[in-house]
Copies of this chain bind each other. A is one copy, B any other.
Amino acid sequence: MLQGKQSWVFQNHPVIKSTGVSGGPFEANGRLAADFDVLHDDLWMGKTSYEQAHRILLEEAAQTAMKKGELKQEDIQFFLAGDLINQITPSSFAARDLQIPYFGLFGACSTSMEGLALASFMVNYQGANNVLTGASSHNAAVEKQFRYPTEYGGQKPPTAQWTVTGAGVALITKNQSDERLPYTTSATIGKVVDMGLADPFNMGGAMAPAAADTILAHFQDLQLDPSYYDLIVTGDLGKIGRETVIALLKEKGLTIDEKIMKDCGLLIYTNDQPVQSGGSGAGCSATVMYGHLLNEMKKGMYKRILCVATGALLSPLTVQQGETIPCIAHAVSIEI
């Protein structure tokens, strides 16, 4: 049901029955390694291109989610996925192997919550019994496409972020009230916000205003106070973006206790990994939310999380053509 201007309330509490999370060697050395279901010690993952390896990550995450959820491909009505690669081919090729009716999405690094919002809406209204939704990225495939092949060893400014090699997939099903599982309660769909920043090496700074816009809209639409949540976690703003979003919200009159504001891009790696401002990529919020944070919820650490995935909707071509960076953020509320 529409609530306010741009939010949905999911009265039937679609549940996140299971998830699958896969990652690469850099993630295996990260802070959250124990929360990954599958970890590869090689970026190629036995394939001959990084794009094929990218697809493998998503397929493994989807297969893991189905296995843990004790469902087979034929039980799943829809697969909603997207990534950062041109024409989202890793997602579409994974959909070919999965043979599940498929909605291709593009929201850059906001894709995880774009998919979770749509999947929750579908399940809430009996549009599906079981939906798989996910997002993924592969560091070397993304760097090659957006910046330089990693083999060049190009240097980056401290505002740059490190694209996560990983995929996170969630299996959304109808609420079965006998199980104690996390469920989604609402979603806020973002507008495109562009404050005129044009530096593709400072995505966190560019995306922060979009995150602030969606967070403000969420509390206004739902008529909630930030204290409703134990945790408000942004997708991949990194150090610089996180500071910016807190400042922007304060400026707009919404003061949130900084202790409950975290960022997936700051959670995933250790302090001594060379990730500059933090992690990023469509796989960042997908792996951290569907892996680490849901595990923490199940352990009782959090009861209500607002996950605000942020995306920079640029392309190498728009940067070359001198355009600024349009950004977006979608938020989904997950409770247990």
Contacts and interface: CB of A to CB of B under 8 A. Distances in A.
Interface of A: 1-2, 5-6, 8, 49, 51-52, 77-78, 82, 84-89, 92-93, 95-96, 99-108, 114, 118, 121-122, 124-129, 189-194, 313-318, 321, 323, 326, 328
Contact of A190 (B102, B190, B318): B102
A96 B314 contact: no
Contacts of A125: 1, 121, 124-125, 127
Given A78-B189, A96-B192, A121-B122, 4 more contacts: A49-B321, A84-B87, A95-B326, A124-B125
Number of chain copies forming the complex = 2
Given A2-B77, A87-B86, A127-B1, A102 B192 contact: yes
Given A86-B315, A194-B96, A321-B49, A106 B105 contact: yes
Most buried by B among A87, A192, A323: A87
Given A6-B77, A105-B105, A121-B122, A89 B314 contact: yes
A104 B317 CA distance: 18
A5 B326 CA distance: 37
Contacts of A95: 191-192, 326, 328
12 contacts: A82-B104, A86-B317, A87-B314, A92-B192, A92-B326, A92-B328, A95-B192, A96-B193, A104-B105, A104-B313, A121-B121, A121-B125
Contacts of A122: 121
B87 A313 contact: yes
A303 B207 CA distance: 46
A118 B103 contact: yes
A221 to B, nearest CB: 10
B317 A99 contact: no
Contacts of A106: 82, 87-88, 104-106
Contacts of A88: 106, 313
A189 B87 contact: no
Contact of A99 (B104, B126, B192, B314): B192
B96 A104 contact: no
- List 5 A-B pairs, minimum CB-CB distance, nearest first: A92-B313, A87-B315, A96-B192, A104-B106, A101-B189
Contact of A191 (B84, B100, B104, B126): B100
Contacts of A316: 86
